[in-house]
Amino acid sequence: MGKGKGNVKLQKKRYAERYPEKERARNTRKCARRRARRKAEDPIGYAEKRRAANARYREKNPEKVRAQRARSNAIWNGKRRALLLGTGGRISSGIADRLGKIQKWRCVVCLKDLSDGYHIDHIFPLALGGRHEDSNLQLLCPSCNLSKGAKHPVDFMRSRGFLL
Ligand SMILES: [Zn+2]
């Protein structure tokens, strides 16, 4: 028994089993190389295929796409407004998911299920000097957030029958 082809195959298999993370990284590189080659060979066809694949993904996962869009819009809008108003602060990535877990994915004001969409709200509005940072954020359903606007949080909660 020499070093036949089967032997090499077996060795590769054993190696992959022993170092799964290396194998994954190797596959990722392989896919990236293949994508780059396809793109170089036929850039227009490649772009069309990507567009079609993205459209299929959007069609199959509408709620994922909506949630992702809501998330990035909310964060981006907050960042932009904070910049305009000169209120500093940073928010951490993944903050919406963390808040969602804490709030059990319910609007803190009306308890509506947030799986259809949510807004990231500045508890103390940026317009009133609130900071664009984690501790000043909560998730609200779009309708509560829109009616809250730039109201003071105490006034808003009172208008909803909370607080005295
Ligand atoms: Zn609500």
Cα of 109 from ligand 1 centre, angstroms: 5
Cα of 156 from ligand 1 centre, angstroms: 12
pTM beyond 0.75: the answer is no
Element (H, E) at 148: helix 142-148
Q: Which residues of 21-59 are buried (b: 16+ CB within 10 A; e: fewer)?
A: eeeeeeeeeeeeeeeeeeeeeeeeebeeeeeeeeeeeee
Give pLDDT tens digits for 119-154: 999 999 988 888 889 999 999 999 999 999 999 999
pLDDT of residue 4: 53
Q: pLDDT tens track of the chain, all 164 residues?
A: 445 566 888 888 888 889 888 888 998 999 999 988 988 888 888 888 888 998 999 899 888 888 777 777 776 777 777 766 666 677 888 899 999 999 999 999 999 999 889 999 999 998 888 888 999 999 999 999 999 999 999 999 999 999 88
- What tokens does 58 get? 């959007």
Residue 158 has φ and ψ, to the nearest 5°, of: -60, -40
Cα of 138 from ligand 1 centre, angstroms: 11
Domains of the chain, CATH where assigned: 5-60 (no CATH), 63-159 (1.10.30)
Cα of 40 from ligand 1 centre, angstroms: 49
Distance spanning both ends of the chain, measured CA to CA = 87
Cα of 82 from ligand 1 centre, angstroms: 23
- What tokens does 153 get? 């949080």
Residue with tokens 């500045």: 122
Element (H, E) at 121: strand 119-122
